[in-house]
Copies of this chain bind each other. A is one copy, B any other.
Amino acid sequence: MLGLMQNWPLLCHRIIDHAAAIHGQQEVVTRSVEGPIHRTTYAAIRGNALKVGQQLDRHGIKIGDRVATIAWNTWRHLEAWYGIMGIGAVCHTVNPRLFPDQIVWIVNHAQDRIMMTDLTFVPLLEKIADKMPSVERYIVFTDRAHMPQTTLKNAIAYEDWIAEADGDFRWKEFDENTAAAMCYTSGTTGDPKGVLYSHRSNVLHAMMANNPDALGTRAKDTMLPVVPLFHANSWGIAFSAPSMGTKLVMPGPKLDGASVYELLSTEKVTYSAGVPTVWLMLLQYMATEKKTLPDLKVVVCGGSAMPRSMIKAFMDMGVEPRHAWGMTEMSPLGTVGALKPPFANLTGEAALDVLQTQGYPPFGVQMKITDDAGKPQPWDAKTFGRLKVSGPSISKAYYRLDANILDEDGFFDTGDVATMDPYGYMRITDRSKDVIKSGGEWISSIDLENLAVGHPKVLEAAVIGVQHPKWDERPLLIVQLKPDQQATREDILQYMDGKIAKWWMPDDVQFVDSIPHTATGKILKIALREQFKDYRFPTAAA
């Protein structure tokens, strides 16, 4: 027997409709790419989003067609999102920080028909446009006065383009499982993989994110998403903030400490969200300039691990730091690290111990950790396992890729290795391809690296697993010393001795002149493995 409740599909444009109807006067403030601060409202954003939809419709964009954006966080980008999705087209956010060849590959794979971009990226696109034949037209997010001369095909200034529409237009009707947006992940190996969000997944993610232990802002809050709209679905903030009527402050292209501070301060921002690098720049600027942020209440930090010193710095400011973990494939929220019972009243180092974990999953994200055979591992805060996740905002497949990516229970393997504690707090200990499997037990390469860099002469450390006849794999520690420093294998191992389990100790230390990195600054272990592919442990010869 079915319930007798209304059929009300979860569609992304219902969010901007709600924001315009109930919070229509609420402001969206942007540091524009052209320079000045720009102010608009949710009602005006919806009005322009309808014009975007109308113009795309006139162009012949159909349900399921891809429309790309390469752009900063601005009100125009937000208008484009809702306009694209509201006609059932797929908003494909492209990360401008990728290598140009990757952008070309992604746009061709997605077969984007329209490209909407900022002034910043016009020179980049001009260089690669001839390799992206699917793009029929370029829309530049600016007005006529700022529109450059360009070779981009059918280029037009966004303001001119939407001025051609009268806005007398209705959103298209379609099923809530219709594709709404697309974002490619680019790992260290293989081709990028396209994550395809649905209207349902985006709306459910926003509702999940709105809980007050996640990103849940109130209508009287002000949210500044430093995290870009092109990064992992902007952590859902482009949906969650309007759904609550929260004022949005969009930082545009300037993400340095001084610029972010200025917006946080002048707009009295209460919530913000971004990666550790951004917060490091902000905290350094504030320390140097002796600045304060009395209105700031919560900072959500994800993308990579939040250093303990940063968590403490925010707490000392009276700001609640929320360590978050997620993935593009998860829309992206996986866990958020708010203090909850029995830890809710902890302070000082004890609180930091909890806040340094990646947090616990909200309702809507199920987790398990398993061994390689898929057997669930205990939640004892010690046992590692492959972290696998399930939920309505989590991928089941990649765009135009046939591979099955779910296990037999329908869980997605995150590629991370983690521990869970009895209270649901998760701690990432490694990437599964990097974890060292020694005699059936797992050793965290990240824990060893974090320990080794504590040595005063070590600049950076990397640990890889090297084949071992008896133990299957054993850890090899690779060290880059600080300039003009000298240290021996024994110096380093002696420093580590006693700080970890005996059997975790690296079997050897190798010194290198430099450790290779990816474009986004992560250690490129694949290159290290190649470099040390013929290496054999001294102990292994025995």
On A, residues with C-beta under 8 Å from B are 1-8, 10, 14-15, 17-18, 21-26, 63-64, 90, 175, 177-180, 195-201, 204, 206-208, 210-213, 216-220, 243-245, 247, 331, 338-342, 344, 360-361, 363-364, 366, 390-399, 406, 410, 412, 422-424
Contact = CB atoms under 8 A, between A and B. Distances in A.
Contact of A23 (B206, B340, B394): B340
A391 B394 CA distance: 24
Contact of A340 (B24, B216, B218, B338): B218
Given A8-B410, A22-B361, A212-B216, 11 more contacts: A2-B177, A2-B198, A5-B395, A10-B204, A18-B366, A23-B424, A207-B363, A211-B211, A212-B217, A212-B244, A213-B218
A3 B200 contact: yes
Interface of A is mostly: loop
A127 to B, nearest CB: 30
Contact of A3 (B5, B199, B338, B424): B199
B244 A213 contact: yes
B211 A3 contact: no
B363 A201 contact: no
Q: How many chain copies?
A: 2
Contacts of A398: 4
Nearest to A345: B220
Nearest to A397: B4
Nearest to A90: B1
Contacts of A406: 6
Contact of A339 (B14, B220, B331, B393): B220
B5 A338 contact: no
Nearest to A244: B211
A90 B4 CA distance: 12
Given A1-B178, A396-B5, A422 B244 contact: no
A220 B211 CA distance: 13
A38 B262 CA distance: 53
Nearest to A66: B1
Nearest to A391: B8
